[in-house]
Amino acid sequence: MSDRKDHNQGDSAVRLGLICGVFAYGLWGILPVYLKALVAVDPMEIVGHRILWSVPFGALILTFRKQWRETLKAFASPRMTMLLGFSAAVIAGNWLLYVWAVASEHILQASLGYYINPLMFVAAGVFVLKEKLNRAQITAVALAALGVCVLTFGAGVFPWVSLVLALSFTAYGYVRKMLDIGGMPGLFIETALLSPFALVFLIWFSQAQGLAFGQGDIGMDALLILAGPVTVVPLLLFALAARRLRFSTLGFLQYIGPTGQFFLGLYYGEPFTPYHAVCFGLIWTALAIFSLDAVRQNRRMRAAARQPV
């Protein structure tokens, strides 16, 4: 009876994890819809509001989840605060480029960047951590590089937006992977560290050019305040999913986001040439090889763990 109860609880946890993961990546996938509604607002103002409004909303989440002790403990560590300050700067740059990409009709390049990201993690493992790649991983990285070359030389478009987004998010991911802190406490500290700079920038920007916020357009003000929940909610859902799902399952779910962005890029009428088709086809093939290899390795590790010592 006890085993059945534990099994049912395990199934419920996995189900909840899947729901949270799908919603997290789904929200990231439709983020361009929200940003298109703010196309008249300067990207730097949007990022400023995204940082500022994430702080009070994040504080509410920390209170609800009773994570203030973990947050304050991390804040008291100079090393933790310094590294989170670095990761905060990196993710702020990533946000700014992404907002600019959507406003400038580069959603397909942004989508490509987040497709490349898992393979960028593999490449970073080789160059930074001196890891060795197996044959499937080498093939996947080579196909991705070939896809970028096809787009660069065929269409005459160097996908710098894709590469900078992928590189910055990989750098952010590696820093956060080094730190023993939860997703929500980490994000709160990052936005808290950035908030004075965001506030000073918005004050300066209001005097230099004028803000879109506070000009009597209640709908626009509401959308900019919504930048806080739009930033925090997907991350919270992701954190809930990550605690309940295997890494390989999360690996498959992460393609929901860029796929949603890809179709939105087509919907908004961005140019999609045969070279784009070849590039994306090569990237998708690389990701299929990479994902299947990850599943195989995961199964092998679980089988080895079940073997009697």
What is the residue range of 94's domain?
2-306
16 versus 250: which is more confidently predicted? 16
Chain segment 125-162, per-residue pLDDT in tens: 766 666 677 788 788 888 888 888 888 887 677 888 98
pLDDT confidence of residue 304: 65
Please give the helix or strand (H or E) that residue 240 lies within, else none: helix 227-242
List, for residues 12-68, the tens digit of each pLDDT value: 777 888 898 889 889 999 999 999 999 889 999 999 999 999 999 999 999 998 999
The residue type of 49 is: H
Number of domains composing the chain: 1
Query: What was the pLDDT predicted at 99?
Result: 93
User: Tell me: the pLDDT tens digits for 200-241?
Assistant: 999 999 998 888 888 878 999 999 999 999 988 988 888 778
Task: Provide the b/e sequence for 271-281 (b: ≥16 CB within 10 Å).
Answer: eeeebbebbbe
Query: What per-residue confidence (pLDDT) applies to 52?
Result: 94
CB 222 within 8 A of CB 8: no
Burial environment of residue 208 by CB neighbours within 10 A (0 to 12, 13 to 18, 19 or more): exposed
pLDDT band at 82 (very low <50, low <70, confident <90, very high): very high
Contact at 8 Å (CB) between 208 and 149? no
Q: How far is CA 151 from the centre of its chain?
A: 24
Look at residue 134 in the predicted model and tell me its pLDDT.
79
